[in-house]
A and B are shown apart, each in its own frame.
Chain A
């Protein structure tokens, strides 16, 4: 088990390095000059060259990559004597702030959004899916499945716009979302996040409903369910203890990955609602060709997904006795 864990963690580091390298190379190939971005539009060519040298952009790509990776673990000093502490992800070209600080500042927003939405979509999605499965073929099942198909087909920004229009503009139930820290004012935090939560959950709830319905239908036709009935168990026990226990296991895998991906920012939702999260940070970074920000957000997202994967695998060994790691 310990050997297995060590191997998996080594693999995590390897994957992150590869993702870092790929992002680095992609950025290098893109025809955009960060030196001009950093220096400003009024810079003379001489000044741009000076800035480029200062930023290390005149060095070969592999050397820049090396400096970047070492900086994460050891920190580094930039040209003009500016210290970049551990972990150093460089400075944003847009506002010269350390990327690490930008990430840390915005993480709370993204995590709030992701976890709230996840709770919502799990409750709604699994409930709808299981009810549909148990009422398979009835009008209720068909209605629910049409609803989920519709919900899954609507683009996130469209759902967001609809919610803003009806809830904020017409009904005026909620204020226009403006992010408030949880620690500051929990009620304001929640009421401002309700719309983003619903927006994000709408898509995932629909997918989880369809998935859990399919899982449940398949499980309920398994011979061991017939055995459970043959034992004389009440139908409720058959469904919950024998059916759901088996049907929900694969969903844990998918949930882990989905949540991992969202912890590092829901780009569209955050952008539409103007939430200061990692997704919004990444979006701004991409628009402004802000290499350190793009690298930082990409690495963070990769980190969450890879870690979520690892956690899912470990959890699986606990919930499925047939899986044992050695």
Chain B
């Protein structure tokens, strides 16, 4: 905590700064993660196109989109986990530029200062090693502790994420845990080295609804305790409503809308965001509300053959209502606005 006096705490909501691991770099005043104009392509196929976002300590960014919208690809790019991909733009983590950084430097940040949890905890945990060993592994590597200290740390982490009888459970294998408990193990593993950033890639999708809430609460509690920055990738707007401070809505590899979570739910401006909200029970606030859920017609664009102009126009109700204006099919809408950013030629809602 010796350096914490220099931290600029951006949020009033969660105030406790992160406990810094020994030997970390100096702290910058800005957001812990600052991504600018990030593009990711695999060969000639561009999957993410010019995405910009940042996350502060203690804050949660929800990245929302359908499968193939580029939300997971963006987050894997942050951790440098893409192989055979071209990543351009800028990813600044705690003052360090990660795009083009040596892979060894990225590796040392992974698991120690930035961690990730995944959708399916059973297949994401190694079937042959005990959960205790799997949690201890990264801790031992990054902190250079003894085997014994790492094992103790694993037990401590299991207790922290709410696993009963942690000492005994640490000696068990992933298949001996229930789905929710496995996700707790994943969280324990990700947080063992006290990272500053946690990327959660649909952490509740594979879980029971009741367990989903518990896992979200757990993440929120640990975040509050540690001042962790969280990126929550999801297609579930309910999850976003529950824990996100800011929301980035992605469509076809581009940003559709980006603003505070409250604003997204109260005054969405992008027709895609509006469509998403109208398709969720309990959240539906459609303009002509007849009590029915409205699906967005069509399916997400293929990154191989994206539609020209605005990528959403083939599915856009407002485009059709405005008699197919040429601008939507010809020009890619730029992201406009400062607090409430939206990329649409025909933005709706009130400013």
Listed in ascending order, the chain A residues whose CB lies under 8 Å from chain B are 222-224, 226-234, 237, 242, 245-246, 249, 319-322
10 CB contacts below 8 A, A to B, read A223-B120, A227-B124, A229-B81, A231-B137, A234-B107, A246-B128, A321-B127, A321-B175, A322-B127, A322-B173
> B110 contacts the other chain (Cβ, under 8 Å)?
yes
With beta carbons under 8 angstroms apart, the residue of A227, A319, A322 that contacts B175 is: A322
Q: Within 8 Å CB of B130, what residues of A?
A: 321
Interface size on B, residues (CB 8 A): 28
Given contacts A231-B111, A233-B107, A245-B126, 12 further A-B contacts (CB under 8 A): A224-B124, A227-B124, A230-B79, A230-B81, A230-B110, A231-B141, A232-B109, A233-B111, A233-B137, A234-B107, A320-B128, A321-B173
Known: A224-B127, A249-B128, A321-B128. A229 touches B120 (CB 8 A): no
Q: Within 8 Å CB of A249, what residues of B?
A: 128
In the complex, residue of chain B having the shortest beta-carbon distance to the beta carbon of A224 = B126
Q: Within 8 Å CB of B112, what residues of A?
A: 232
Complex Cα gap A322–B127 (Å): 8
In the complex, residue of chain B having the shortest beta-carbon distance to the beta carbon of A225 = B126
Complex Cα gap A229–B112 (Å): 12
Q: Within 8 Å CB of A227, what residues of B?
A: 118, 124-126, 186, 189
Q: Is the CB of B108 within 8 A of A232?
A: yes
**Using an 8 Å CB-CB cutoff, how does the interface string of B107-146 with A read, 1 for contact, 0 for none?**
1111110011010100111111010000001100110000
Complex Cα gap A126–B120 (Å): 30
Q: Is the CB of B81 within 8 A of A226?
A: yes
Q: Within 8 Å CB of B116, what residues of A?
A: 230
Listed in ascending order, the chain B residues whose CB lies under 8 Å from chain A are 79, 81, 107-112, 115-116, 118, 120, 123-128, 130, 137-138, 141-142, 173, 175, 186, 189-190
Complex Cα gap A301–B305 (Å): 60
Q: Within 8 Å CB of A226, what residues of B?
A: 81, 118, 124
The residue among A228, A229, A230 with the most chain B CB atoms within 10 A of its own CB is A230
The 9 A-B pairs at the shortest CB distance, nearest first, are namely A232-B111, A232-B110, A231-B111, A231-B138, A223-B123, A223-B124, A321-B173, A224-B126, A230-B116
A-B contact count (CB 8 A): 71
Q: How far is the CB of B98 from chain A (nearest CB, A)?
A: 13
Known: A222-B123, A321-B173, A322-B175. A230 touches B128 (CB 8 A): no
Q: How far is the CB of B280 from chain A (nearest CB, A)?
A: 27
Q: Is the CB of B138 within 8 A of A232?
A: yes
With beta carbons under 8 angstroms apart, the residue of B118, B124, B127, B142 that contacts A232 is: B142
Complex Cα gap A17–B82 (Å): 57
Complex Cα gap A320–B137 (Å): 19
Complex Cα gap A234–B103 (Å): 10
Q: Is the CB of A245 within 8 A of B109?
A: no
Known: A232-B112, A233-B141. A223 touches B118 (CB 8 A): yes
Q: Within 8 Å CB of A246, what residues of B?
A: 126-128
In the complex, residue of chain A having the shortest beta-carbon distance to the beta carbon of B130 = A321
In the complex, residue of chain B having the shortest beta-carbon distance to the beta carbon of A249 = B128
Complex Cα gap A234–B175 (Å): 26
Q: How far is the CB of B85 from chain A (nearest CB, A)?
A: 14
Q: Within 8 Å CB of A231, what residues of B?
A: 110-111, 115, 137-138, 141, 189
Q: Is the CB of A228 within 8 A of B126?
A: yes
Q: How far is the CB of A245 from chain B (nearest CB, A)?
A: 6
The residue among B79, B127, B141 with the most chain A CB atoms within 10 A of its own CB is B127
In the complex, residue of chain A having the shortest beta-carbon distance to the beta carbon of B192 = A231
Complex Cα gap A246–B111 (Å): 22
Q: Within 8 Å CB of B137, what residues of A?
A: 231, 233
The residue among B125, B126, B142 with the most chain A CB atoms within 10 A of its own CB is B126
Q: Within 8 Å CB of B118, what residues of A?
A: 223, 226-227, 230
Q: Is the CB of A229 within 8 A of B110?
A: yes
Q: Within 8 Å CB of A234, what residues of B?
A: 107
Complex Cα gap A72–B255 (Å): 80
Complex Cα gap A230–B75 (Å): 11
Q: Within 8 Å CB of A223, what residues of B?
A: 118, 120, 123-124
Q: Within 8 Å CB of A232, what residues of B?
A: 107-112, 138, 141-142
Q: How far is the CB of A104 from chain B (nearest CB, A)?
A: 40
Complex Cα gap A140–B350 (Å): 61
Complex Cα gap A222–B175 (Å): 16
Complex Cα gap A234–B108 (Å): 9
Q: How far is the CB of A8 from chain B (nearest CB, A)?
A: 23
In the complex, residue of chain B having the shortest beta-carbon distance to the beta carbon of A321 = B173
Q: How far is the CB of B129 from chain A (nearest CB, A)?
A: 8
In the complex, residue of chain A having the shortest beta-carbon distance to the beta carbon of B109 = A232
Q: How far is the CB of B83 from chain A (nearest CB, A)?
A: 9
Complex Cα gap A226–B141 (Å): 17
Complex Cα gap A191–B114 (Å): 57
Q: Is the CB of A230 within 8 A of B123?
A: no
Q: How far is the CB of A37 from chain B (nearest CB, A)?
A: 55
Complex Cα gap A230–B72 (Å): 13
Q: How far is the CB of B137 from chain A (nearest CB, A)?
A: 7
Complex Cα gap A226–B123 (Å): 10
Complex Cα gap A223–B116 (Å): 12
In the complex, residue of chain B having the shortest beta-carbon distance to the beta carbon of A234 = B107
Q: How far is the CB of A278 from chain B (nearest CB, A)?
A: 37
Q: Within 8 Å CB of B124, what residues of A?
A: 223-224, 226-227
Q: Within 8 Å CB of B142, what residues of A?
A: 232
